[in-house]
């Protein structure tokens, strides 16, 4: 059940706790780029003792060890994403969904030569998603 996440935490040499395992598993299985609050609410169902501070602490340490990444696409709230290969994101201004865009960044090469030490690359596109522009219903209504 949790072998994969136990291994990931061991490789990062950070303590294995049930909370960290649950959070990591949740992010791996829900590629919806949830906020801390969304992770907290989802996991609190099966663990009513869970503290939101723990979610903040956990995503911080998972982030620092590169197991997850943070997404700042939607301003005024941080979102988190299990690290699964390089990809970019598309934010739909209508339904709010954040969609994975599987492209490489062709600018990375020139960035590596510009003198700055590049550690992270993020590409964000914003607009109206395919579903919404076809006029389908969506969770935000409108």
Partner DNA sequence: TATTAAATTGTAATAAATACAAATTAGAAA
Partner DNA sequence: TTTCTAATTTGTATTTATTACAATTTAATA
Binding mask 48-77 for DNA (x = CB under 7 A): -xxxxxx-xxx-xx-------------xxx
- Contact with Mn ion (CB under 5 A): which of 40, 43, 50, 81? 81
- CB distance 62 to 68 below 8 Å: yes
Give the residue from 112, 27, 110 showing the smallest Cα distance to 70: 27
Residues 6+ apart with CB under 8 A from 134: none
Q: Is 100 in the site for Mn ion (CB under 5 A)?
A: yes
Find the shortest distance in angstroms from Cβ 108 to Zn ion: 19
Is position 93 an interface residue for DNA (rule: CB under 7 A)?
Answer: no
- Ramachandran bin of 58, using left for φ above 0, alpha for ψ from -120 to 50, beta for the remaining angles: alpha
By CB under 8 A, name the binding residues for a copy of itself.
Answer: 70, 72-78, 88, 90, 92-93, 99, 101, 103, 105-107, 110-111, 114-130, 133
The residues of the shown chain that bind Mn ion, judged by CB under 5 A, are 81, 100
């Amino acid at each position: 059940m949790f072998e994969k996440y136990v291994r990931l935490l061991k490789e990062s040499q950070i303590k294995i706790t049930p909370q960290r395992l649950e959070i990591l598993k949740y992010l791996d299985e829900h590629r919806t780029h949830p906020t801390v609050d969304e992770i907290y609410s989802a996991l609190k169902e099966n663990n009513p003792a869970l503290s939101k501070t723990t979610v903040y602490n956990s995503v911080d340490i998972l982030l620092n060890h590169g197991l997850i990444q943070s997404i700042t696409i939607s301003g005024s709230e941080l979102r988190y994403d299990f690290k699964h290969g390089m990809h970019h994101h598309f934010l739909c201004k209508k339904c709010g969904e954040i969609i994975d865009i599987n492209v490489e960044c062709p600018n990375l090469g020139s960035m590596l030569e510009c003198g700055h030490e590049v550690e992270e690359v993020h590409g964000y596109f914003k607009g109206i998603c395919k579903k919404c522009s076809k006029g389908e219903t969506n969770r935000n209504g409108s």
